Amino acid sequence: MLTSYPQDKTQGAHQAPPPVWLDLVDPNDEERNRATGLLGAELPTRKQVADIAMSSRVRTSEEMLRINIPGFVREDGGKGALTPLGVMLTPKVLVTLRYADSLAFERLAATVAQRAATESSVETFVGLFESVAETAADRMQTLSGELSQLSRNVFADRDGHSRMLRGVLFEVGRIQRQLTQIRAAQLGVQRGLAHLCDGAPKWIDKAQVARLLVVQADLHSLSEFDQQLDDKVQFLLDATLGFINNDQNDLIKVLTIASVVTIPPMILAGIWGMNFKSIPEYNWANGYGFAWAMIVLSMILPLAWFKWKKWF
């Protein structure tokens, strides 16, 4: 899909205003050819954009800047593999090449749609990375709130606590996957900005470079916040597994007590169940009641012992 954002939105459609930003999402050959003509340069392939070599991340020239981010957003709503992002910038047009939907691009598109005219390609380029930082901050804040709610659920002493723990494990795994996605995207953007800010083209002025440096600092701060969230995820995972282990230990304790308590009655029943005529208890008038009394007593005594030891 190819979305074009013209600079002057007030011109008539017959005047074909020149685009400032071309956003391609998994484009076909026709859309790639159209974008190539407007950009004046060949678009990279998906394999080239996904190249993890540092030499392929940022390339600058007098008329074009290229930034490749190998892992930017996941496909299928966060369930698939990371997809790459390619950014090509000239003084006249910005071309973004991606292969999945992105909240950062949706935020930027909404901002651009509210304006009467799209700003220059460089301003849109800077706004894109500002949108990436804002989106990452919002998403991490949301995940932090979800972790806090999960923590309250894990450490709540209420009925159904054991049944809830299994669901917590799935939620922790989901949050961890999303944090990994955000971390990978941030790392790619940070590396691209680091190279760009060190050697920006002349047609990107100092004020715009300063804004990119602010974005870089914001992403660095988010990396520290991400580490805190990662620690919280690990702590919550350990706590959940600890509660599950305690529940399993309690179950094993009950089974152990039950097995120990039933051993003496089984021994007595086995002795009196032998088919020997010389067993004297067979001739007792109250032998049946005596046998029952001994069996019940042999169960009560171990239970009393465990209770006295506070083992249950």
Residues of the chain with pLDDT > 70: what percent? Answer: 91
Whole-number Å distance between alpha carbons of 18 and 5: 8
Determine the pLDDT at residue 124: 84
Please report how many Cα atoms fall inside a 13 Å half-sphere around the Cα of residue 169, on the Cβ side: 11
Determine the pLDDT at residue 257: 84
Determine the pLDDT at residue 221: 86
Which H/E stretch holds residue 83?
strand 82-89
Residue type at position 284: W
Determine the pLDDT at residue 80: 61
Per-residue three-class SS string for 196-218 = HHHCCCCCCCHHHHHHHHHHHHH
Determine the pLDDT at residue 154: 85
Whole-number Å distance between alpha carbons of 27 and 35: 10
In the chain, which residues have pLDDT < 50?
none
Q: How do 94-98 and 19-25 pair as beta strands?
A: parallel
* Residue 26 φ/ψ, nearest 5 degrees: 45, 60
Residue type at position 286: N
* Residue 275 φ/ψ, nearest 5 degrees: -95, 70
C-alpha distances in Å from residue 303, one per residue of 255, 258, 266, 277, 312: 13, 9, 16, 34, 9
pTM score of the predicted model: 0.71
| Burial group, residue 131, by CB count within 10 angstroms (0-12, 13-18, 19+) | buried
Determine the pLDDT at residue 54: 59
Which H/E stretch holds residue 5?
strand 2-6
Whole-number Å distance between alpha carbons of 84 and 97: 8
Determine the pLDDT at residue 74: 64
Determine the pLDDT at residue 75: 53
Determine the pLDDT at residue 191: 78
Q: Across the chain, which distance is largest between two alpha carbons, in Å?
A: 117
CB-based contact 305:271 (threshold 8 Å)? no
Determine the pLDDT at residue 10: 54
Angle among Cα 145, 247, 298 to the nearest 5 degrees reads 160
Token reading at 242? 């600890």
Whole-number Å distance between alpha carbons of 308 and 304: 6
Using one digit for the tens of pLDDT, what is the confidence trace for 201-221?
787 888 888 888 888 888 888
| Burial group, residue 23, by CB count within 10 angstroms (0-12, 13-18, 19+) | buried
CB-based contact 212:129 (threshold 8 Å)? yes
